[in-house]
């Protein structure tokens, strides 16, 4: 089991697939024994969470319940994305006896004659009567091609595993900014276009030091958004328009993900109500050594 990359809990399952060997089967599959009744509680959806790897070769992902196979309906390249994604499988579409489920398989098969190899992580395989909602829109923004990047923020390549091969940030040990910068230094600005609604900002970043308590924060500003705390609806307390996104919880020692949260009471993950159109997002240094790789805007409601 994998203990660094996981969606929930302490572990996930790493799956190495390889359809490229001479004489190999045209698919790679792992199967677990179930011997269960999947009609109890009237579940409608089988949900599987997975995370890909940048170096993966695209293949068709599938789930097999008994002898009935469901193919992943999203892009085959989703398994090359280093971000946890939710796969919803309609149980009714499987056409198998759900009252007597013997086995569950997960795997990858060739796209036509095209074989491939790679590593995918699986986690949180669950049955739902009503599955968690999928994002209505997802905007992926690489950190390094920002509209503007001001020094001492710089593009870096020292740590392997960055999406796009680069990330940005301020060198560890060069000083923190416990209040927002006023001279525009150490700041990256981005322009993006959305359909409008309520969004969350998910950041992929790297933290220097032992654990996440050393370098774990940015300042975040989105002037056109109304910011509230998830679950309470309380207004986010801003510092000259900036959100204090301190104490993020990656805690992997590698590139990991966490949502922008307010470290100022009332604390919590931040919801951004953004009107349709083109807007700007600024991210500035708070803790040196917190290195930004990717920003993803996830729309959760209209």
pTM of the model: 0.90
Does some domain include residue 145? yes
Domain that includes residue 188, residue range: 137-301
Together in a domain, 39 and 151: no
Does some domain include residue 7? no
Does some domain include residue 274? yes
- 195: domain CATH number is 2.60.120.260
User: CA end-to-end span of the chain, whole Å?
Assistant: 38
Number of structural domains found in the chain: 2
Together in a domain, 172 and 296: yes
> Looking at the DSSP assignment, which residues form a beta bridge with residue 45?
90, 128
Q: What is the pLDDT of residue 20?
A: 75
Together in a domain, 102 and 193: no
Together in a domain, 183 and 242: yes
CA-nearest of 236, 300, 301 to 86 is: 300
Does some domain include residue 124? yes
Low-confidence ranges of the chain (pLDDT < 70): 2-5, 22-24, 209-214, 250-253
Does some domain include residue 275? yes
Of 128, 152, 181, which closes a domain?
Answer: 128
pLDDT in tens, 66-123: 999 999 999 999 999 999 999 999 999 999 999 999 999 999 998 888 888 999 999 9
Together in a domain, 80 and 170: no
Together in a domain, 51 and 94: yes
Together in a domain, 52 and 112: yes
Of 76, 100, 128, which closes a domain?
Answer: 128
Together in a domain, 144 and 121: no
Q: What are phi and psi of 164, to 5 degrees?
A: 75, 0
Q: What is the pLDDT of residue 200?
A: 98
- Residue 252 burial (CB count, 10 A): 16
Tokens 């870096």 found at: 156
What is the rounded CA–CA span in Å between residue 25 and residue 5? 28
Of 128, 147, 163, which closes a domain?
Answer: 128
Together in a domain, 163 and 295: yes
Together in a domain, 57 and 114: yes
Does some domain include residue 195? yes
Does some domain include residue 267? yes
Together in a domain, 195 and 93: no
Together in a domain, 192 and 50: no
């Amino acid at each position: 089991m994998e203990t660094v990359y996981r969606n929930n809990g302490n572990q996930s399952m790493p799956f190495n697939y390889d359809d490229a060997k001479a004489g190999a089967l045209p698919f790679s599959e792992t199967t677990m024994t179930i011997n269960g009744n999947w009609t109890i509680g009237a579940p409608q959806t089988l949900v599987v969470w997975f995370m890909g790897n940048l170096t993966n070769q695209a293949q068709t992902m599938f789930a097999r319940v008994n002898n009935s196979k469901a193919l992943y309906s999203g892009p085959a390249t989703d398994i090359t994305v280093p971000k946890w994604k939710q796969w919803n499988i309609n149980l009714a579409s499987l056409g198998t006896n759900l009252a007597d489920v013997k086995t569950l398989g997960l795997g990858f098969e060739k796209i036509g004659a095209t074989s491939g190899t790679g590593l995918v992580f699986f986690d949180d395989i669950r049955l739902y009567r009503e599955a968690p909602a999928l994002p209505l829109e997802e905007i992926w923004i690489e950190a390094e091609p920002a509209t503007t990047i001001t020094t001492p923020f710089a593009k870096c390549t020292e740590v392997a595993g960055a999406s796009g091969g680069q990330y940005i940030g301020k060198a560890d040990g060069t000083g923190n900014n416990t209040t927002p910068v006023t001279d525009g230094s150490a700041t990256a600005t981005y322009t993006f276009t959305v359909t409008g609604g309520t969004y969350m900002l998910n950041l992929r970043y790297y933290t220097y030091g032992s654990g996440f308590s050393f370098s774990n924060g940015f300042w975040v500003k989105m002037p056109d958004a109304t910011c509230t705390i998830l679950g309470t609806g309380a207004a986010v307390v801003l510092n000259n328009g900036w959100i204090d996104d301190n104490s993020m919880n990656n805690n992997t020692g590698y590139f990991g993900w966490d949502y922008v949260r307010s470290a100022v009471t009332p604390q919590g993950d931040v919801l951004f109500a953004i009107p349709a159109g083109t807007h700007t997002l600024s991210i500035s240094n708070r803790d040196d050594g917190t290195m930004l790789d990717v920003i993803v805007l996830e729309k959760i409601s209209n």
